[in-house]
Amino acid sequence: MSKQDIWQWLGPLAERWKGEANLREQSIVLTWRTVGLSSLAQAMYVDRGVLHLGVASHVVAAELNLLKRKVVARVKEAVPGAGITDLRFHIRAQAEQPGQIAVPAPTAAARRRARAELSPKLPTSLRAGLSEILAWAQAR
């Protein structure tokens, strides 16, 4: 959706509700993709000239903070009427958690090696349990 389309639909509503200034201020949130940083940060809202961005990690926030002047210049170029003067970053949880680590089961040879490493003086049930734990730990 282009900036012209957004104003075509939301402009008359904002005029009727006396919220045109607020809509102009928040317009960068609607057109954030045009800035070209949507893969790194998500525009959340604008408050008194400060654009609040949601990022995936503190590393991304630190990198964008180092490039703050360039990002603000790019935002002003994309939406001149927004009046953005500063950026704030909010760390947001990732939508998808990493999957489980697949650990292959220990082989029979690994189980024999684990059994051989343990003392033969241990009770048989304890030795069997410890050798199984040791074999799985070595498989990891």
Task: Calculate the dihedral angle through the C-alpha atoms of 42, 73, 12, 8, rounding to the nearest 10 degrees.
Answer: -80
Low-confidence ranges of the chain (pLDDT < 50): none
Residue 20: the pLDDT is 61
Residue 90: the pLDDT is 92
| Closest to 53 measured CA to CA, from 67, 66, 69, 37 | 37
Domain 3-91 has CATH 3.30.300: yes
Q: How many residues does the chain have?
A: 140
Residue 39: the pLDDT is 81
| Closest to 43 measured CA to CA, from 90, 81, 6 | 90
pTM, 2 dp: 0.54
For 3, half-sphere exposure in the C-beta direction (CA atoms, 13 angstrom radius) is: 16
Which residues contact residue 34 at a Cβ distance below 8 angstroms, ignoring those fewer than 6 apart? 3, 78, 79
Residue 19: the pLDDT is 60
Residue 91: the pLDDT is 92
Residue 62: the pLDDT is 92
Where are the domain boundaries for CATH 3.30.300 in the chain?
3-91
